[in-house]
Amino acid sequence: MRIVMLGDIVGACGRQSVQQLIPEIHEKFKPDVLLANVENVANGSGLTPDQYRRLFDAGVDGMTMGDHALRKREIYKILQEKSNIIRPGNLPAGAPGKGSMAIEPRNTSLPPVYVIIVLGNMFMGLNANDPVASVDTLLAQIPRKDATIIVEMHAETTSEKQAMGWHLNGRVSAVLGSHTHVPTADAGILPSTKIGARRTAFQADLGMCGGHESVIGRRIEPVLSHLRTGVYMAFDVADKDPRINGVCLDVDQTTGSATAIERFVLHANPQKPPFMV
């Protein structure tokens, strides 16, 4: 089974880049499931129902959301009702939505892919529960222990994401980090914990989809001005040098063991649709 997961989609530029490049993703990687983090689509913070539908229609099979999941109240109904979008599983119990999902692959002969997302605790500033205990609870609810399981760790520090990777090593197919928008160069398969254990792929951060002539997706000038003066500035979303970052993951669908992980970057053309419509 082959799974492609994209890093945080930032603003209209990120969404349009993904829409334009999904055919190239399918031609190049031929994924059975395509996943993406969509929490920054709405001008850098949140997601609207229209944006959800556009990404789904473009071919994003499953969507995850992090610390900006609840920024737009209009998305709450979709978080509650749709089976292909999740928010962090360690938010308080009263939060709308759910923390895990099962995505059916395009090849209907393959078993479902289970996806979980949790927030880190370090420097995140949210009232989230312990991510380690929460991910263990969510894993216990998955009916098949040999299932293909992807855990996304949406966290500020690489150390906390690495710690989650080691905590889940041998128990899930992959632990993939998000949130910091800068791809890390550590994509690989963790050492096996014991003979016969499943292999777990890991990358501390997937990067982002959007304008890369930027500071993590925001226009450079306002960020520099704020850093130099302390004066509040509106951090508008950047739109130059559009790219998408992600990973292509191969999993043995009979054991849930990762067999390969490849980090990639693709460049969008802002002179072609959907940019020029």
Q: Any idea what the CATH number is for the domain that residue 186 is in? A: 3.60.21.10
Q: Is residue 175 part of a domain?
A: yes
Phi, psi angle pair for 113, to nearest 5°: -100, 125
pTM for this entry: 0.94
Q: Which residues pair with 101 in a beta bridge?
A: 115
Residues 6 or more apart whose CB falls under 8 angstroms from that of 271 comprise: none
Which pair of tokens denotes residue 88?
A: 């962090």
- Taking the C-alpha atoms of residue 181 and residue 124, their distance in angstroms, rounded to an integer, is 15
Which pair of tokens denotes residue 49?
A: 């129902």
**What is the reported pLDDT for 159?**
96
- Taking the C-alpha atoms of residue 209 and residue 164, their distance in angstroms, rounded to an integer, is 24
Coil/strand/helix, residue 257: strand
Q: Is residue 272 part of a domain?
A: no
Q: Is residue 109 part of a domain?
A: yes
Amino acid 48 reads: T
Q: Is residue 277 part of a domain?
A: no
Q: Is residue 273 part of a domain?
A: no
Q: Is residue 78 part of a domain?
A: yes
User: Would you call 267 a catalytic residue per the annotation?
Assistant: no
Q: Which residues pair with 244 in a beta bridge?
A: 266
Catalytic residue among 26, 68, 179, 212: 68
Closest to 207 (Cα-Cα) out of 250, 265, 260: 265
Tally of structural domains, the chain: 1
Burial class (CB in 10 A: 0-12, 13-18, 19+), 37: buried
Q: Is residue 221 part of a domain?
A: yes
Ordered mean pLDDT values, 10 residues apiece, the chain (277 residues): 97 96 97 97 94 97 94 95 97 94 93 97 85 96 92 96 96 97 97 85 98 92 90 88 98 96 97 87
Q: Is residue 204 part of a domain?
A: yes
**What is the reported pLDDT for 277?**
63
Amino acid 116 reads: I
Domain coverage including residue 123:
2-267
